[in-house]
Structure 1
Amino acid sequence: MALLITDECINCDVCEPECPNDAIYLGTEIYEIDPARCTECVGHHDEPQCKVVCPVECIELNPEWPEDRDQLMSKYRRLTVHPVTE
Structure 2
Amino acid sequence: MSLFITDECINCDVCEPECPNGAITQGEEIYVIDPALCTECVGHFDTPQCVEVCPVDCIPKDPDNEETHDQLYKKYQILMAV
Q: Give your verdict on TM over 0.5.
A: yes
Aligned residues with identical type, % of pairs: 66
Aligned length: 82
Unaligned runs of 5+ in 2: none
* Partner SS for 1:67: coil
Q: Cα RMSD (Å) of the superposition?
A: 0.5
Alignment of 1:35-46 (within 5 A): 35-46=35-46
Paired with 1:50 and 1:38, the residues of 2 have a C-alpha distance of 11
Distance 1:17 1:66 in 2: 24
Deviation of the 1:32 alpha carbon:
0.2
- Work out the CA distance in 2 between the residues paired with 1:58 and 1:64: 16
Whole-angstrom CA distance in 1 between matches of 2:5 and 2:44 = 20
TM-score normalized with structure 2 length: 0.99
Q: Normalising by structure 1, what TM-score?
A: 0.94
Matched with 1:32 is: 32
